[in-house]
A and B are shown apart, each in its own frame.
Chain A
Amino acid sequence: MDDNEKAKDIISTKETQTSLDYQTLGMIYQNQKLLAEALKSYLHALQLDLNSIDKEILFDYYGNPLHVSEHTEAIVDVAEMELLERLSTMSNNKSYYLFENIYHIASVYHQQEKYNLAEDCYKRCLLGYKDLCGDDAVNNELGYVLDRQGANYEAMGQYSDSEEY
């Protein structure tokens, strides 16, 4: 039994599975190129994260919910689009793990050549991280990047593009 199989075995025999467990399973499946299974696991993790945010469940340092009983309700298969739609209605959430799951989901969509879905998820993720970092910090980081971008265009002689930055 290789390490991936051992990890799957350990996770599946746990009494309760957390969002982090499902994310780990997703990563294992993704490594094994089992993309449909990976997507299912990541979506499962995402749903747990969303439920936690709805119920304001707190996470410990390692990303495990502090109120496990709240977190283990039966998860029915939710259509992925419905889940992603739910994401778009949420605002100002501050869960790092939520965006990490969206990042993984985007990477699976990319591997499945569902590029429009991947784009949508990556952009949600980007906005989430920016929001999470706080305006000042991120604007400093991105401001630097955009300055560099403007400088690049200027150096390339594309002044019209440079003005946008």
Chain B
Amino acid sequence: MHRELSQSGVSEQIAGVLKNLGDNYSAMGQYSDAEVYYKQSSAMYRKLSQNGVSEDIACTLHNLAYNYGVMGQYSDAEEYYKQSLAMCRVFSQSGVSEDVAHVLNNLGFIYIAMFQYSDSEVNFRHELSMFIDLSLFGVS
């Protein structure tokens, strides 16, 4: 039940606590604080992972993206959702999973928000076509 008490085990625990602190601050509406903890957590998870890819990193990046979305930083949100999506696809069966659908759903909301605040419909249409490619074919 308990993890083995090793350096990497404790470091993984620290990364988990940092992520949860991010979640906690995000839930309290302290989005800037949440951002700091999410970034520390994802950096630590990356260091602990073999190749910079893991489900924990994907989850933290997803939460960071959501956090940027509620802060109105849509470009940042888009960037981190895309990173999370790429990782979720690595861990899914043939590129399809609940996590992939979840990230795509949230990314879709970001594009809608970008459209509402965008002064360029042309740019939005370009982004939208990329999103459709990303959704259907996994490329952008």
Query: Looking at chain B, what size class is its interface with the partner chain?
Result: 20 to 34
Contact B43 A144 (CB under 8 A): yes
Considering only residues 24-53 of chain B, those with a C-beta below 8 Å from chain A are 24-25, 27-28, 36, 39-40, 43-44, 47
Q: By CB atoms of chain A within 10 A, which of B1, B7, B23, B44 has the most? A: B1
Interface size on A, residues (CB 8 A): 36
**B14 partner residues in chain A, CB cutoff 8 A:** 126, 129-130, 133, 138, 141-142
Contact flag A148-B43 (CB < 8 Å), given A103-B13, A141-B14:
yes
Contact flag A129-B17 (CB < 8 Å), given A110-B24, A115-B27, A145-B44:
yes
| B20 located at the interface, meaning its Cβ lies under 8 Å from any Cβ of chain A in the complex | yes
Contact flag A62-B2 (CB < 8 Å), given A110-B20, A118-B24:
yes
- Measured in the bound complex, the distance between the Cα atoms of B86 and A151 in whole Å is 23
| A30 located at the interface, meaning its Cβ lies under 8 Å from any Cβ of chain B in the complex | no
Contact B47 A141 (CB under 8 A): yes
Considering only residues 53-110 of chain A, those with a C-beta below 8 Å from chain B are 62-63, 96-97, 99-100, 103, 106-107, 110
Q: By CB atoms of chain A within 10 A, which of B20, B28, B36 has the most? A: B20
Contact B43 A149 (CB under 8 A): yes
Contact B10 A119 (CB under 8 A): no
Rounded to whole Å, the gap between the CB of A104 and the closest CB of chain B is: 11
Contact flag A96-B10 (CB < 8 Å), given A115-B24, A126-B18:
yes
Contact A152 B21 (CB under 8 A): no
**B36 partner residues in chain A, CB cutoff 8 A:** 149
| B136 located at the interface, meaning its Cβ lies under 8 Å from any Cβ of chain A in the complex | no
| B139 located at the interface, meaning its Cβ lies under 8 Å from any Cβ of chain A in the complex | no
Contact B1 A63 (CB under 8 A): yes
Rounded to whole Å, the gap between the CB of B2 and the closest CB of chain A is: 5
| A42 located at the interface, meaning its Cβ lies under 8 Å from any Cβ of chain B in the complex | no
**B40 partner residues in chain A, CB cutoff 8 A:** 142, 145-146, 149
- Measured in the bound complex, the distance between the Cα atoms of B32 and A114 in whole Å is 20
Give the interface of A toward B (CB within 8 A).
Answer: 20, 23-24, 62-63, 96-97, 99-100, 103, 106-107, 110, 113, 115-116, 118-119, 122-123, 125-126, 129-130, 132-133, 137-138, 141-142, 144-146, 148-149, 152
Query: Which 10 residue pairs spanning A and B have beta carbons closest together?
Result: A148-B43, A115-B28, A145-B43, A63-B2, A122-B21, A126-B17, A129-B14, A145-B40, A118-B24, A96-B5
